[in-house]
């Protein structure tokens, strides 16, 4: 098998992780929308590789391209997405309250485990901008709004597990 075929096959194996990211990025807007985003992103990157428009060195680079395509598609399609239903947990509502850019930065670093440089490439922003978005998102999710009703004042801050430093 050639290098291009290996990369395309590896991309199809990345679908579950892309799906997890898309569902979190959609913040309760629905599984159908997030699945459509994943399919469109994979098709877009695959078509660009096949057309030799995109020359990828390895699977990691292909993965960054797929996340970038998904993020760009989501930015366009989530503008009119419905809000999460009341049955969703507080973290989903907290994510939905974040701006799209802040949410994407937080999810790429905290959920998907990308480093700051790769996440900045995915969102097509300078590293410093990504870090500012990440700081805003962490501050918003760590606020009092995510604590369950009746939580102790001295209780550990919500979402403290989202603090990952690379």
In a domain, 46, yes or no: yes
In a domain, 37, yes or no: yes
Q: What is the pLDDT of residue 149?
A: 42
Domain that residue 10 falls in = 3-146
Split the chain (166 residues) into runs of 10 and give each run's mean pLDDT.
Answer: 68 85 84 88 84 72 89 85 75 85 93 93 95 93 55 47 57
Dig out the tokens for 148 from the structure: 């369950």
C-alpha span between 74 and 56 (Å, rounded)? 23
Closest CA to 96 of 78, 122, 112, 110: 78
C-alpha span between 53 and 73 (Å, rounded)? 19
Q: Which stretches within the chain are classed as H helix?
A: 3-13, 15-26, 31-50, 59-77, 90-97, 100-106, 116-123, 127-141
Q: What is the pLDDT of residue 102?
A: 93
In a domain, 39, yes or no: yes
Q: Per-residue DSSP letters for 109-120?
A: IIIS---HHHHH
Dig out the tokens for 114 from the structure: 């990308």
In a domain, 164, yes or no: no
In a domain, 161, yes or no: no
C-alpha span between 165 and 159 (Å, rounded)? 14
C-alpha span between 14 and 70 (Å, rounded)? 12
Q: What is the pLDDT of residue 13?
A: 79
Q: What is the pLDDT of residue 1?
A: 46
User: Model confidence over 118-156: pLDDT tens digits?
Assistant: 999 999 999 999 999 999 999 988 854 454 444 444 444
CATH number at residue 104: 1.20.140.160
Total-model pTM: 0.77
Q: What is the pLDDT of residue 69?
A: 92
C-alpha span between 64 and 6 (Å, rounded)? 16
Dig out the tokens for 104 from the structure: 């994407």
Most distant pair of Cα atoms in the chain: their distance? 59
Dig out the tokens for 74 from the structure: 């989501």
C-alpha span between 108 and 162 (Å, rounded)? 11
In a domain, 163, yes or no: no
**Helix, coil or strand: residue 99:** coil
Q: What is the pLDDT of residue 62?
A: 83
Q: What's the domain count of the chain?
A: 1
Question: What is the residue whose two structure tokens read 């440089």?
Answer: 117
In a domain, 41, yes or no: yes
In a domain, 12, yes or no: yes
């Amino acid at each position: 098998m050639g290098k291009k075929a290996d990369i395309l096959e590896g991309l199809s194996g990345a679908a579950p992780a892309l799906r997890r990211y898309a569902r979190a990025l959609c913040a309760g807007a629905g599984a159908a929308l997030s699945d459509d985003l994943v399919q469109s992103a994979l098709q877009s990157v695959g078509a660009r590789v096949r057309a030799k428009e995109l020359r990828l060195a390895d699977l990691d680079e292909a993965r960054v391209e797929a996340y970038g395509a998904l993020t760009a598609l989501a930015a366009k399609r989530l503008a009119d997405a419905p809000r999460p239903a009341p049955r969703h947990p507080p973290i989903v509502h907290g994510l939905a309250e974040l701006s799209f850019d802040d949410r994407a930065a937080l999810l790429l670093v905290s959920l998907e485990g990308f480093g700051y440089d790769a996440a900045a490439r995915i969102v097509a922003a300078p590293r410093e901008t990504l870090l500012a978005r990440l700081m805003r998102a962490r501050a918003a999710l760590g606020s009092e709004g995510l604590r369950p009703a009746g939580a102790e004042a001295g209780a550990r801050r919500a979402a403290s597990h989202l603090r990952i430093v690379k």
